[in-house]
Amino acid sequence: MDIASLVGVVSGVSLIITAILIGGNVHNFFNLPGVMVVVGGTIAATLLTFQIRDVASAFRAAFFVFLEKKRDPNDMVATMISLCYITRRDGIYKLGDVKTESSFLKKVCNLIADGSEEELFRKTMAIEVDAMKTRHFMVQDVFRKMGVYAPAFGMLGTLIGLIQMLSRLQDPASIGPAMAVALLTTFYGSLLSTLFFLPVAGKLKSRTLLEVINLEIIAEGGISIMDDNNPMLVYEKLSSYIAARLRRPMKRRALGK
């Protein structure tokens, strides 16, 4: 569970609800037609922009991002050090037997075990990283677009409410409540955009950057293994991807045993 995300959502919603309760009645902030315009319009525009499978993939990715624990780059450095020890002890062909949940790491191990040339290895890894960035950008873009559409439909709902209000100017007593209802859709759109859609897009982007670092550590570690670098040199090279204050000291770990 991503504690920071949970704290952010809970605290944001709690503060807004508290402000509403302090200033008036919470029922004044609920309007079903306004919710329909903002939520329904945002979903409709998003489905017009993207394919439905891309939208579904984006929401699944967001769900797992908030539930899954971040992958610490230190763990990936330690994994590559373990692979370095394995190749020095048993040879590079032993990497073909390594068991791992990471498809990227498994591909690296197989390429090394098959005796791939360094140039082919680099090109293959670069393609993998670029493809991952493209997939993640699509997921992020879904939420970025929703963050744009929600306020726009909120303003559209406000215009609808104003038109309805102006059509009843002969009744001055109804102007105040009608104006409040009209403004609610702008509130809904801004709330969804600033508290949910855009922060989720930002969270996904930060996870992508972290994933890129992990993949680059794997790729650079694989190249170091192919060059038969000793574990200490591999550690010094790969730890450069991590801020000095966050680096763990080198230690030997066994992988696949």
Contact between 66 and 1 (Cβ < 8 Å): yes
Residue 252 is assigned to a structural domain of this protein: no
- Overall domain count for the chain: 2
Residues 88 and 178 reside in one and the same domain: yes
Contact between 248 and 169 (Cβ < 8 Å): no
Q: What is the pLDDT of residues 72-111, one digit of tens each?
A: 899 999 999 989 888 888 888 888 888 888 889 999 999 9
The predicted pLDDT at position 255 comes to 46
The predicted pLDDT at position 252 comes to 54
Residue 114 is assigned to a structural domain of this protein: yes
Residues 1 and 100 reside in one and the same domain: no
The predicted pLDDT at position 126 comes to 92
SS3 assignment, position 254:
coil
Which range marks the domain in which residue 15 is found? 1-30
Q: What is the DSSP string of 181-203?
A: HHHHHHHHHHHHIIIIIHHHHHH
Closest CA to 76 of 238, 244, 254: 238
Q: What is the pLDDT of residues 106-129, one digit of tens each?
A: 999 999 888 888 899 999 999 999
pTM for the complete prediction?
0.82
Residues 181 and 202 reside in one and the same domain: yes
The predicted pLDDT at position 70 comes to 79
Residue 255 is assigned to a structural domain of this protein: no
The predicted pLDDT at position 116 comes to 84
The predicted pLDDT at position 138 comes to 92
Interatomic CA distance for residues 52 and 57, integer angstroms: 9
Q: What is the DSSP string of 108-157?
A: HHHHHHTT--HHHHHHHHHHHHHHHHHHHHHHHHHHHHHHHHHHHHHHHH
Residue 192 is assigned to a structural domain of this protein: yes
Low-confidence ranges of the chain (pLDDT < 70): 1, 174, 252-257
